[in-house]
Amino acid sequence: MATWDSYTTAWGQANAVYSENKPVQIIGSQFYMVDDGANYQGDPVAVALSHEGLAIYGRDQRGNPKVDASVVKNLQGIWPELRGVPGTIVQVSVGFQDATNQPITWSDKRDFVLGTDFFLDFIVTGKYLAVRFESLGQLPWELSGYDLEIEVVGVK
């Protein structure tokens, strides 16, 4: 086996054609760039993000979340903080459950149009809340957070 020191030929140059800093995934022996479009091998890309089992019902005077699973809450609306190309549609739904071992009852999906919408109103009631963001075949988008409008209904 040859060592580096035994090579006497000149080093060549390489062109940095593929020097973009992008995430990739490996399937078999192929590399695929991700975060680059709305389709994968001709099929629309399905994206789904959810946050479940939320027992938050407000914030204290310092801005810290107040959490109590015994409190029944009305989730009345959501302010998603989404970034992406204006016109991109992200479907938002909210849900509830009274125990984490029960299935979540989801609302109908509502379209949130980036660059146009800022708030979606909903009404769901339960001890645990859930939110879901979905898209199919849309341009890439980013969820940086969301605010919920929650009203305390009572304690069960």
Instruction: Give the structural domain span for 66.
Output: 38-155
Asked, for residue 3, whether it belongs to a domain, the answer is no
136: in domain: yes
Mean pLDDT of the chain: 86
Quick one: what percent of the chain has pLDDT higher than 90? 62
Distance of alpha carbon 39 from alpha carbon 43, whole angstroms: 5
CATH number for the domain harbouring residue 94: 2.60.120
Would you say residue 37 has pLDDT above 70? no
Asked, for residue 8, whether it belongs to a domain, the answer is no
C-alpha–C-alpha distance, residues 100 and 13, integer Å: 59
Name the residue with higher pLDDT: 71 or 15.
71
| Mean pLDDT computed over 15-34 | 65
Report how many domains make up the chain: 1
The pair of three-digit structure tokens given for residue 2, joined into one six-digit string: 């040859």
